[in-house]
Chain A
Amino acid sequence: KQEVTQIPAALSVPEGENLVLNCSFTDSAIYNLQWFRQDPGKGLTSLLLIQSSQREQTSGRLNASLDKSSGRSTLYIAASQPGDSATYLCAFYAGNNRKLIWGLGTSLAVNP
């Protein structure tokens, strides 16, 4: 069964910290992996998509890495801000059929 696990489920940090969110998956034959952000009561915002041939992607203060051999992806957030507070979800494409397999997310609180 294809599964995605995100650890920790919740995280609270002071403003300014660098932090890492973890995502592990059971299927090494993934095609690519996508990180999203969800604010309370809102839809999802796509942050980064890593193709299977890539090892990382960067956007501003965000850096996502992908290690297919170990079944892991990490989302690194540099110099965290209160505005980063949200739930972060990872999902991978299992094959080219456009179906995403979802984790349950990490709820992040950045305290001023």
Chain B
Amino acid sequence: DGGITQSPKYLFRKEGQNVTLSCEQNLNHDAMYWYRQDPGQGLRLIYYSQIVNDFQKGDIAEGYSVSREKKESFPLTVTSAQKNPTAFYLCASSMFQLGRNQPQHFGDGTRLSIL
């Protein structure tokens, strides 16, 4: 079945540690996105990528990094510079169509907590 796979489902980070969240899609989508979800707040965009080897900062990119070496994969690294990383992280993807936004499809999320 086509879809978006995020792993792990739960992740714990120690002080000063970088952690990487995986996101893989087999939908042949061009664009991929990372969002952060906190209680009482709307989803906030961290980074997005429209094509391989290219990505742009979203609204809250500080303390995060990404790469897009393959169309199917868009891993997110939460660095030690991110002082409040505890949140639910969601990865999404969509097709590209010139002049027309396509629906975004989401994975099941990764919940990151601080040890």
Contact = CB atoms under 8 A, between A and B. Distances in A.
A90 B107 CA distance: 17
Contacts of A41: 109, 111
A77 interface: no
Interface residues of A, number: 24
B107 A43 contact: yes
B109 A46 contact: no
A43 B23 CA distance: 13
Interface string A37-81: 000011111100101000000000000000000000000000000
B100 interface: yes
A44 B37 CA distance: 11
Given A34-B104, A51-B100, A104 B42 contact: yes
A88 interface: no
Given A93-B101, A98-B101, A103 B42 contact: yes
B47 to A, nearest CB: 12
B103 interface: yes
B42 A99 contact: no
Contact of B103 (A34, A99, A101): A34
A45 B4 CA distance: 11
Interface residues of B, number: 28
Contacts, number: 54
Interface in A13-52: 31-32, 34, 36, 41-46, 49, 51
Contacts of B6: 43
Nearest to B99: A96
B106 A45 contact: yes
A98 B58 contact: no
Given A4-B42, A44-B106, 15 more contacts: A41-B109, A41-B111, A42-B108, A43-B108, A43-B109, A45-B106, A46-B106, A93-B101, A96-B99, A96-B101, A98-B31, A98-B33, A99-B45, A101-B42, A103-B42
Interface of B: 4, 6, 31, 33, 40-45, 48, 50, 58, 90, 92, 94, 99-109, 111
6 contacts: A34-B103, A42-B108, A43-B6, A46-B106, A96-B99, A104-B42
